[in-house]
Amino acid sequence: MRQSDNSLFKPTAEDIFEDVFSDLDQEQAVEVKAKAAEEAMRLVAEKKRGEIKYANASRDIANFVNNADLMEQRKKDYQMSAEFEGASGVTKIQVGRNWSRMLIAGGVIGILLVLILLYVLRT
């Protein structure tokens, strides 16, 4: 096996390719080139599908966040959740606001503070 000058220990991918390709007859070389072209097309298509998934997920997530902002501005209780499939997997987002719980908790804390203040003032 021929090795390039810049590699002392391991053959490079080019070295292996040249070694294998030099041993092929004309028919085998044509077959290998056809398979390589098929694989290249498959990789291009896979890359394009990933780019489309990424673009769609990015757009959908931006819309989700904008909708969550609108819900937040209304100061009402809400729950939102969604899953977005991107090129690298699925992203799940959950957001919500429970204003009534916050009001109850704030009221309880306020009452406790008033009671503590009254107790301190009595003594």
Q: Where are the domains of the chain?
A: 13-97
Per-residue pLDDT, 67: 92
Report pLDDT digits (tens) over 65-107: 999 999 888 878 888 999 988 878 888 989 888 777 777 888 8
Residue pair 17/33 in contact (Cβ under 8 Å)? The answer is no
Residue 97 CA to residue 78 CA, distance in Å, equals 5
pLDDT at 5 over 60: no
pLDDT at 9 over 80: no
Per-residue pLDDT, 3: 52
Per-residue pLDDT, 2: 52
What is the three-state SS of 38-72?
HHHHHHHHHHHHHHHHHHHHHHHHHHHHHHHHHHH
pLDDT at 6 over 60: no
Residue 7 CA to residue 14 CA, distance in Å, equals 11
End-to-end CA distance of the chain: 96
Report pLDDT digits (tens) over 16-41: 878 877 888 889 888 988 998 999 99
Per-residue pLDDT, 25: 86
Report pLDDT digits (tens) over 59-76: 999 999 999 999 888 878
Backbone angles phi, psi at 85, to 5 degrees: -95, 115
113, two tokens: 């503070």
